[in-house]
Amino acid sequence: MKRLSEKIVDDIKIKILKGEYQTGERLLAELDLAKYHDVSRSVIRESLRNLESLGLVKIKKGPKGGIFASKSYHKPISDSLKGLVDADKVTKDNVFDIRLLLETHAASQAAVNADIADIKYLKSLLVIPGERRKDAKWLQANRSKLHLGLARASKNPVLEVLMESLIELLREYFKDFHDVDFEQESLISHKMIIKSIEKKNPEKAGSLMKDYIIGMRDFINRNMP
């Protein structure tokens, strides 16, 4: 038999997954949730901790704080991967092997399934403000958005969750890697990939992404032994 806290987790989880709570929407306060579910505040706190660990709510402190719906489904996977990185169980080869599998597939599927809004968003990430052209950290963050955008454009929610987890892994593993020249070269590669996606050419998009990832692997092996 499920505990009260588990039943409340299930109830809120279903509402978030069905869209009854939109991402960023404020949920009832802790006391109001306790009254609504007719349970103690300690039961609600336990439920919220579980929901937060699942990436389904964000709890913010302070004057503008509260409990907010989230759809960070990748969080449990990301936390597990971070544990592997912290324990030195992940190698660069491990990271790039997974990138070759996931991101080549994401690019080719984006070429099949991307709609006009997807293409518009991806193209917008190719427009770099003048003051950011030499900002390696900003360019790196922008590149991450583009790769996640490709996964979303594939219209495969499983792939999107895995990509979000992979990006978190990359951010953790390569946190000290910032290179302007590499980021500018990446921008050229990404323009070609997005052009292939816009032209609905999955083979070309996948092939270009594969070449890009192999090139990145070689660059990092030379510069980050």
Cα separation, 166 vs 224, whole angstroms: 19
Does one domain contain both 139 and 60? no
- Strand spans (E) along 82-193: none
User: In DSSP terms, which residues pair with 60 in a beta bridge?
Assistant: 66
- 77-130: per-residue pLDDT in tens? 777 777 777 778 878 888 889 899 999 999 999 999 999 999 999 999 999 999
| Total number of domains in the chain | 2
63/74: higher pLDDT = 63
Q: Any idea which residue has 């990301």 for tokens?
A: 78
Q: What is the pLDDT of residue 166?
A: 84
Q: What is the pLDDT of residue 147?
A: 94
Does one domain contain both 60 and 36? yes
Cα separation, 44 vs 34, whole angstroms: 6
Give the end of a domain, one of 30, 51, 69: 69
**Which whole number is the average pLDDT over 118-143?**
94
DSSP three-state, residue 57:
strand
Does one domain contain both 56 and 112? no
Does one domain contain both 65 and 88? no
Does one domain contain both 63 and 163? no
Looking up residue 54, the CATH number of its domain turns out to be 1.10.10.10
**Which whole number is the average pLDDT over 73-78?**
69
Does one domain contain both 101 and 81? yes
- 205-224: per-residue pLDDT in tens? 999 999 999 999 999 888 87
Does one domain contain both 162 and 193? yes
Does one domain contain both 119 and 191? yes
Structural domain range at position 35: 4-69
